[in-house]
Amino acid sequence: MGHEQTSLSPADARVLTRTAIGAGSSSSFSSSSSSLTSSSSSPLLPSHRFFSTSTLKASPFYAIPVHYLRRKGVLMVLLCMGVIAYIHYQFLMPSPSSSLFGVGGRMGGRGGDLKSRGKSGSGTNGDEALDYSKLDLGDIRERPPVGPAPVDGVDEDGFEILEEDRVRMMDLPDPASESKQQIIGPSRRPTIQFNADPSKEGIINLSGGLERDRQQFVKGMIQHAWAGYVQHAAPHDELKSVTGDKMDPLHGWGTTLLESLDTLKLVGLESEYLAAKEMFLKQVPVHNWGVGDSQDRKEGSIDAEASGQDIGFFESVVRYLGGLLSIRELESKDKNLKDDPRILQSAVDLSNRLVMAFQGVNGALPASRIFANGTLGSNEVLFGKTSLAEVGTFQLEFRKLAQLANDEKYSTLAQRNADFLSSLKPKIPGLYPAYFDPEAGVGQEYVASFGSLSDSFYEYLLKSYMLTNDDKFKDQYIVAVDAMHQYLISRPSKKSEPYLVLGVYNTATRTLVPKMDHLSCFAPGLLALGSRVLDRSKDLAVARGLMETCVLSYKNSATGLGADEIAFLVSGGGHDEKIGTGTTDILNKGKEFEMPQPTGFYVLDSEYELRPETVESLFIMYRVTGETKYRDYAWAIAQSIEKNCKTKYGYSTLANVMDISEGMTDRMPSHFLAQTLKYLYLIFSPPDLASLDEFLFTTEGHMMSYPIPFKDA
C-alpha cells in the first residue's frame, strides 16, 4: 500500500539538507560519506522575474514612510525608487540558476551543489547519520502538464524541452487515440546525469590520468575474455573458461557472440566487432531461430528431433532480441557504417517466432517455452506456474522493434500484456507475487520481492515510461516503489549504520525476511534512475543505503567478491548460526536487522557468478550523483575479479567467495561480457559515452535510444 503524497515541512527539509548517509570504510572500498544534498537552502522561488508575495513581505525596502518622501520632494522620491529598484534587481530577484524546487531541487546543480560536497564530491558537510525510520517515503512531486518553455530551453518547472518538441507543444496528439497508443512520444524530460564539469571540485578530469588508466585496464579484461571465447568456444553459447571447452546452455545460437557485440563496439574494438557480427549472421540461416525449414513446417513433416526443440521466451527476448536491437541502434549512430538490413531482419524473424508464445490467457501472457512445431510449454521449474519477470520483461524490446520495423503487431502485444498485468489486484497494491498461476490469477497469499523471479518486471515499469512517456507505467512504478518502501525495506537497528536490506515479504505470515540475492542489487540503480526521472529524492536516499549493503557483501568477503545470496539477523531475535544448520528464527520478523560479526552478514549461497547487478548500480549511482566513491568501489571489484577469477582462457565463476581454495566452476556466462565488463568500462569513461540521457539499458545490458519519437497518424 503506497503512501499518500505529502510535502516536507521546513524542519524536515533542514534535516534532509544537512544529513549524511553512512560512514566510510577503512578498506580499499573506503570513501567519504555520501549524503543528501540540496541545491539551495532558500525557500521556493518563482521562475519568473516578478515580485512574489513572500518577497514583498520579506523586503524592508518597501516599508519607507510615504510622508518622508513627500517632505523631501519629487527628486527624493525618484532617487528612492531608483535605489529600491537597483537593490531588488541585484539581491532579491531569483537568477536563472536559482533552485526551482527548493530542497533537493534540480537547477543549481544536479545531485546538489558540487562545491558543497567537498573534494570527493560525496555529499554535504553534515556528519549526522540519516535516520531512515523518519523518512517519509511517500513524498512525490508529480511532473507538471505539458506546456511551453518560458526561458532558455526549460519549462517553468525546470524540465528540459528538446528543440524538436517546441513545435509539437502547441498541438499534441491524443494519447487515447488507438492509432497512437504505442508511441506517446517525447515531451519534456529531466536531465538524469550529473554535470560532469572537470573545473568543478569533486569531478575528476576525464581526459586522462587515473580514470583513463582504470578504463584501459578494464578494456584489457574485455580483450582477454573475448579472445578466449573466440578462439575456443565461438560460435557456441559460452566458454568453459578453465578447461577451454565450449557449452550451449541457451539454444546454441551463439549467446556470448551476439551479446558481446555492443560491448565490443562501445570500447572501440571495431575490427573484432565487425568480424564477430559476420560470424553471428552466418549462423542465423543454420539454426533459423529453432524453427527448421519453413516449407517443412507448412507441410507438417518436421522430424521428431526438430519438433522436440524448444526455446525459452524470456531468454530469447532479453539476450537475442535485445542484443540485435542494440546493434541496430549503435550502428545507426555511426556515420562510418552503412545501414545493415540483416540485423533488423534477424530481429523480425526471431520475433515472429516469439509471438507464437501468446496463446494463453487473453493472448496477454507469453508461454515459457515454444516448440518448433508451434506447441507451447510451461516452466517446469515452477511446476507450471509463471514468474513475474518471465511474463513482464519484453515491453522495451517489443516496443522498440515496433518502432524500427514499423509494425504495430509487436506493440499491440506489449500493450495487451501491460493492460492485463495492471488489471491484476494483488493483496498489496504494487507488489505482485514472484510467481503465480496465469489461469487462477495472483491470489492473496504469496511471496513478494524485488529479487529473483520479479526483478526485471519492476525495472521495466520505469524504463517503459521513459521509452514511451505513457503515464500508466509511471503510475504503476510509483505504486510499486511506495509499496517496496513500506513492506520490503529492512532498516538497521543501529541508526548510525548506512546499510539497508531489500528483503522478501510473505503476505501469509506478514513477515519480512531480511535477505538479499545478488539479483536484487539492481535496485539501487533503478531507484537512483527513478529519483531523477520522477523527482523522488527520497528514492535516492534509499538507493544509497541499499548500494552500501551490496558493496558490503563484496568488501567483507575473503575474495572481495559478492556471494549470490546473503542474510542478516533480525533485531532482537535469532543467534549467530548459519542458515542451513536448522536455524530458522533468523528469518522472521525483519523490519529491523542486526549485522552478525565478523562479516556483517550470513552467506546463504556462496557462489560468485560474475554477475553484473552490483556494478550496474554503481555505474548508475555514479552517473546520477557524480560521487567518486562509486568509482572506487567499482575499481576494487574489478581488481578482485582479475585476481581471483582470471584463467588462461578468460574468467571463471567461483564456488565460494569466502574460501578461494574451493576453486573455480569452469564457466564464463555471456552476461560477463554483455554487462559486467561493459558497466565497469563505462563507469571509468567520460559520461557522454552511453549517456543515460540518451540510452536506456535493458535488463540484459543492451542499449536503446529513448524516447520513441512521435508517430504520425
211-220, 290-299, 368-377: which range is least confident on average?
290-299
pLDDT(96) > 50: no
Q: Which of 490, 498, 350, 478 is nearest to 31 (CA)?
A: 498
Using 50, 70 and 90 to split pLDDT, how confident is the model at 593?
confident
How large is the average pLDDT for residues 88-95? 55
Per-residue pLDDT tens for 209-264? 889 999 999 999 999 999 999 999 999 999 999 999 999 999 899 999 999 999 99
139-143, 341-345, 521-525: which range is least confident on average?
139-143
Q: What is the pTM of this model?
A: 0.72
Q: How many CB atoms lie within 10 A of CB 114?
A: 20
Distance CA 530, CA 481 (A): 10
Structure confidence at residue 585 (pLDDT): 38
| Mean of pLDDT over the chain | 76
Structure confidence at residue 647 (pLDDT): 99
Per-residue pLDDT tens for 459-518? 999 999 999 999 999 999 999 999 999 999 998 888 788 999 999 999 999 999 999 999
pLDDT(346) > 90: yes
Cβ atoms of residues 569 and 593 within 8 Å:
yes
Bond into 235 cis (ω within 30): yes
How large is the average pLDDT for residues 146-170? 39
Q: Which is higher by pLDDT, 191 or 22?
A: 191
Q: Which of 425, 566, 551, 542 is nearest to 481 (CA)?
A: 542
* Residues comprising the chain, all counted: 713
Query: Buried b vs exposed e over 490-524: b needs ≥16 C-beta within 10 Å?
Result: bbbeeeebbbbbbbbbbbeeebbbbbbbbbbbbbb
Q: Which is higher by pLDDT, 614 or 359?
A: 614
pLDDT(141) > 80: no
Cβ atoms of residues 602 and 566 within 8 Å:
yes
pLDDT(56) > 60: no
pLDDT(110) > 70: no
Residue with cell 537497528: 493
Q: Which is higher by pLDDT, 457 or 589?
A: 457
CA dihedral 622, 627, 628, 632 (to 10 degrees): -60
pLDDT(117) > 80: no
Structure confidence at residue 91 (pLDDT): 58
Cβ atoms of residues 429 and 479 within 8 Å:
yes
Residue spans of beta strands (DSSP E) within 533-644: 565-567, 569-570, 592-594, 602-605
Per-residue pLDDT tens for 295-305? 333 333 323 33
pLDDT(130) > 50: no
Distances (CA, A) of 87 to 290, 303, 432, 707: 76, 88, 58, 44
Cα 219 to chain centroid, rounded: 23
CA dihedral 624, 629, 631, 633 (to 10 degrees): -120
Beta bridge partners of residue 505, listed in sequence order: 448, 512
> Which of 131-135, 328-332, 571-575 has the largest mean confidence?
328-332
How large is the average pLDDT for residues 328-342? 93
Compute the Cα dihedral for 684, 261, 411, 310 and give only its sign: negative
Per-residue pLDDT tens for 384-398? 788 999 999 999 999
Query: Based on the number of CB atoms within 10 Å of its own CB, is 291 exposed (0-12), middle (13-18) or buried (19 or more)?
Result: buried
Structure confidence at residue 387 (pLDDT): 92
Using 50, 70 and 90 to split pLDDT, how confident is the model at 457?
very high
Q: Set out the domains of the chain in order of their start, with CATH numbers.
A: 210-705 (1.50.10.10)
Structure confidence at residue 102 (pLDDT): 32
Q: How many CB atoms lie within 10 A of CB 3?
A: 14
Structure confidence at residue 310 (pLDDT): 80
Structure confidence at residue 92 (pLDDT): 55
Q: In what order do the strands lie in the sheet with 511-513?
A: 447-448, 504-506, 511-513
Structure confidence at residue 514 (pLDDT): 93
Residue with cell 554503481: 618
Using 50, 70 and 90 to split pLDDT, how confident is the model at 291?
low
Query: Buried b vs exposed e over 425-442: b needs ≥16 C-beta within 10 Å?
Result: ebbbebbbbbbbebeeeb
Q: Which is higher by pLDDT, 678 or 290?
A: 678
Q: Which is higher by pLDDT, 318 or 22?
A: 318
699 marked as binding residue: yes
pLDDT(126) > 80: no
Using 50, 70 and 90 to split pLDDT, how confident is the model at 77?
low
